[in-house]
Amino acid sequence: MTPDLECVDLVKRFGDTTAVDNVSFSVPPGSFFSILGPSGCGKTTIMRMIAGFLDPTTGDIRIKGGSVLDTPPNKRPVNMVFQHLALFPMMTIAENIGYGLRRRGMSKPEIARKVDEALERIGLPGIGARKVDELSGGQKQRVAIARCMVLEPDVLLLDEPLGALDLKLREHMKVELKALQAAFDTTFVYITHDQSEALVMSDQIAVMNAGRFEQVGTGQDLYYRPETPFVAGFIGDTNRWSGRIEKAEGGTLQLRTESGLAMRASGAGLAPGDMAEIFVRPEAIRLAATAEGLAGFDNHLSGTVTSILFNGAASRLLVQDAAGETLEVTLPQSGEFDRLKRGDMVHIGWGAGQATCFATGAAGAR
Amino acid sequence: MRNQSRVAFYLLLMPLVLWLGLLIIIPHIDMLLISLRERVSFGVYDRSLAQYEKALTEPLYLRTFARTAVMSVLATAITLLIAFPVAYYIAKMARGRLQQVLFLLCLIPFYVSELVRTFGWMILLRETGIVSNLLQWAGLADQPVEMLYTDATMMVGLVYTSMLFMVVPLVTTLESLDDSVIEAGYDLGGSGLSVLREIIIPHAMPGIVSGCIVVFMLSLGNYLTPTMLGGKDSLWFTEMIYNQFIVRSNWELGAAFGFMLLVLSSVIVWGMLRLTGRTLKETMG
């Protein structure tokens, strides 16, 4: 099947700076593809090139197999939901949604019918006569999507459209966007710096840093099997050390961190003597009251609780071990550790498979 | 405390009240009274509407009156047509330093007095002027060309004088239009023309209206440009007011003319607001 959107060796330079550096990817029809990266990584530049507002320096953009480089933005079968939505404040909601249809020269009754249909679809029937500033943030969001979807684009681009919403609404809109995507059955390309948006909604995520794609994969791939230190550090929270490899047996490594903490970890392509960065997620560390409870783990140590960072389900403990290293450990909310307080001794442990190593100085390391 | 702030409020209000009262309201009342009297004999005046009757029955006065109105509207329209692309370029296309420099360039002519600027046009356009010589040198004319004292020259002068007052409000409103709204217009299939018609102009409407009102008032009340650049057929209404007051010492008729001009400008501005107010409502639903 031809991919809906395909970018081939895309490069964009502004003067001396390379904003997008040789990026290639393809998005299969009907999927939700996210580009995730910190601000300034070039993701907006990619989006603007796909929409046609910027010309790539080199490379090609194909939609449904055909190159669109020579197609101006108003003729591309691609529509964009802008960061601040860019609804037309001088028009009513119905006029906003009907704008693209009017441009295509559709007849008035047909436009009215399509607009009503679209409003029905986004769950806001009967608001056509209202003005843009009478709507709430979430409603505007849906209208902005409907305004694009009535044109039945091959690809819908979304440029951090949830950024302006408050947290509660953003959580709600994540689910809703995913549902809208399924309902419209259109390819969505979504750019964001918020990993939770990308992880929740996407079929495929590309993690971007400094103009390049670090890794493309499903949310699970990125979270469980990061390929670069940048991805390991960017997706989810993590404890991070650097240390020296003392022993390597197959995929399992024996290391010692700079502060003297010994641990077993996994990683490929590393030899004894190499410097490496080790990533362990707080939620991969098991907390126990006694050392016996951790017998099955490759690494265990004991330490004192220096701080309890209470944040509901995402609560953490800061645990300091004998060598002075501080680890962030997820605090399970199963009731077992309710009485824990600062200064208490705890035992923690994690498997070698949960500690990922990368050679120091590998591409993308920050 | 309350009393103190009230005193402060009235003190602050004082300059405005004085300004309005002394410079605008009192002179206008006096003018109105002068326009409503008729000289019977030396130093003896009667209340009458004779001045207005004279102004409205004499063809020269009426024609000049109508001509001034039409030409002012025309000058406003031409100024808008030229200023809009200029303002759009400054507000939306120029970036950083260039934007400031361009804006300053619009302002710089206003550093010299209107009289000097008008003389500048005369130096350029007169029979022995630069343009005339240039045309002869290039072989496009075989004798000196007189470009002064025509309606077209006067129009050039009027538009030139008013340009800044149109550009400033337009730049301000256009700058407040988010670039992404324009991009969205293109993204959803709009052409340059439809984006201009459906998005940019409706957004710029407040700036267009305020710019037009200012330029119209300035043109209508302009004295120097029509007098110096206009021909003998280009009599401007302000010139007639000046003539009545200074040349003829006929203050009564001059005051009546002044009031007719005031009424005319009020009516046209009101009409302009009504017209755009309605279309504004239409575009905003």
ipTM field: 0.79
Given pLDDT bands bounded at 50, 70 and 90, which one contains residue A364? very low
Considering only the beta carbons, identify the residue of B180, B186, B188 that sits closest to A151: B188
Residues A87 and A164 in one domain: yes
Q: Which residues of A touch B199 (CB under 8 A)?
A: 88, 90
Sheet holding A316-321: strands in order across? A286-288, A345-350, A299-309, A316-321, A326-330
Contact A82 B185 (CB under 8 A): no
Q: What range does the domain containing A9 cover?
A: 5-232
Interface of A with B (CB under 8 A): 51-53, 72-75, 78-80, 82-84, 86-92, 95, 99-100, 103-104, 129, 131, 147-148, 151
Residues A176 and A68 in one domain: yes
Q: Say whether A285 sits in a helix, a strand or coil.
A: coil
C-alpha distances (whole Å) from A131 to each of A90, A102, A143, B283 are 8, 18, 11, 11
Mean of the per-residue pLDDT values of chain A: 87
Contact A100 B184 (CB under 8 A): no
**Residue B190 contacts A where some CB pair is shorter than 8 Å:** yes
Residues A201 and A252 in one domain: no
Mean per-residue pLDDT, A264-285: 84
B52-284: CATH class: mainly alpha
CA-nearest residue of chain B to A51?
A: B187
CB pairs < 8 Å spanning A and B = 72
Residues A169 and A40 in one domain: yes
Specify the length of chain A in residues.
366
Count of CB atoms within 10 A of residue B201's CB? 15
Q: Is residue A118 part of a domain?
A: yes
Considering only the beta carbons, identify the residue of B187, B199, B283 that sits closest to A80: B187
The residue of B95, B178, B187, B208 whose CB has the most chain A CBs within 10 angstroms, and thus the best one to mutate to test that interface, is B187
Distance from CA of A61 to the nearest CA of B (A): 17
Q: Which residues in chain B (64-123) have CB-CB distances under 8 A to chain A?
A: none
Distance from CA of B72 to the nearest CA of A (A): 30
Mean per-residue pLDDT, A72-78: 90
Residues A224 and A250 in one domain: no
Is 80 exceeded by the pLDDT of residue B1? no
Given pLDDT bands bounded at 50, 70 and 90, which one contains residue A362? very low
Considering only the beta carbons, identify the residue of B186, B191, B199 that sits closest to A88: B199
CA-nearest residue of chain A to B179?
A: A86
Residues A162 and A253 in one domain: no
Is 90 exceeded by the pLDDT of residue A255? no
Residues A64 and A152 in one domain: yes
Q: Is residue A365 part of a domain?
A: no
Q: Is residue A366 part of a domain?
A: no
Contacts of A256 (CB under 8 A, 6+ apart): A243, A244, A246, A262, A263
Mean per-residue pLDDT, B110-130: 87
Is 80 exceeded by the pLDDT of residue A6? yes
Angle between helices B59-88 and B50-57 (to 10 degrees): 70
Mean per-residue pLDDT, A235-247: 86
Is 90 exceeded by the pLDDT of residue B81? yes
Percent of chain A with pLDDT over 90: 33
Give domain limits for chain B.
Answer: 52-284
Amino acid, res. B150? T
Given pLDDT bands bounded at 50, 70 and 90, which one contains residue B184? very high
A171, A204, A232 - which closes a domain: A232
**Residue B282 contacts A where some CB pair is shorter than 8 Å:** no
Q: What is the pLDDT of residues B88-118, one digit of tens each?
A: 999 999 888 999 899 888 888 888 888 898 8
Task: Give the integer Cα–Cα distance in Å for B222 and B165.
Answer: 14
Q: Which residues of A touch B285 (CB under 8 A)?
A: 91-92, 95, 129, 131
Contact A51 B187 (CB under 8 A): yes
Check residue B147 and give its pLDDT: 83
Q: Which residues of A touch B186 (CB under 8 A)?
A: 72-74
Contact B191 A74 (CB under 8 A): yes
Contact A89 B189 (CB under 8 A): no
> Number of structural domains, chain A?
2
**Residue B124 contacts A where some CB pair is shorter than 8 Å:** no
Considering only the beta carbons, identify the residue of A51, A74, A84 that sits closest to B190: A74
Query: Which CATH number do you get for residue A294?
Result: 2.40.50.140
Residues A144 and A288 in one domain: no
Residues A302 and A214 in one domain: no
Residues A218 and A242 in one domain: no
Mean per-residue pLDDT, B115-144: 87
Could you tell me which residue, A251 or A312, shows the higher pLDDT? Answer: A312
Query: Which CATH number do you get for residue A93?
Result: 3.40.50.300
Mean per-residue pLDDT, A153-159: 92
**Residue B181 contacts A where some CB pair is shorter than 8 Å:** yes
Is 80 exceeded by the pLDDT of residue B157? yes
A179, A201, A232 - which closes a domain: A232
**Residue B193 contacts A where some CB pair is shorter than 8 Å:** no
Mean per-residue pLDDT, B1-19: 85
Residues A284 and A196 in one domain: no
Check residue B283 and give its pLDDT: 36
Mean per-residue pLDDT, A258-278: 82
Q: Say whether A89 sits in a helix, a strand or coil.
A: coil
Considering only the beta carbons, identify the residue of B178, B188, B285 that sits closest to A103: B188
Contact A74 B203 (CB under 8 A): no
Given pLDDT bands bounded at 50, 70 and 90, which one contains residue A45? very high
Mean per-residue pLDDT, A239-259: 83
Check residue B282 and give its pLDDT: 42
Contact B189 A75 (CB under 8 A): yes
Given pLDDT bands bounded at 50, 70 and 90, which one contains residue A361? low
Q: Which residues of B touch A148 (CB under 8 A)?
A: 188
Amino acid, res. B253? L
Q: What is the pLDDT of residues B240-256, one digit of tens each?
A: 899 899 998 888 899 99
Check residue A363 and give its pLDDT: 41
Considering only the beta carbons, identify the residue of A89, A92, A100 that sits closest to B189: A100
Check residue A365 and give its pLDDT: 38
Check residue A241 and give its pLDDT: 86
**Residue B284 contacts A where some CB pair is shorter than 8 Å:** yes
Termini Cα distance of chain B:
47
DSSP letter string, A234-278? HSS--EEEEEEEEEEETTEEEEEETTS-EEEEE-SS--TT-EEEE
Considering only the beta carbons, identify the residue of B184, B284, B285 that sits closest to A86: B184
CA-nearest residue of chain B to A87?
A: B181
Mean per-residue pLDDT, B5-32: 89
Range scoring the smallest mean pLDDT among A347-351, B41-45, B79-83, B163-167: B41-45
A232, A252, A278 - which closes a domain: A232
Residues A43 and A188 in one domain: yes
Distance from CA of A121 to the nearest CA of B (A): 19
Is 90 exceeded by the pLDDT of residue B40? no
Residue B85 and residue B213 in contact, taking contact as beta carbons nearer than 8 Å: no
Q: Is residue A113 part of a domain?
A: yes
Check residue A259 and give its pLDDT: 79
Mean per-residue pLDDT, A163-167: 80
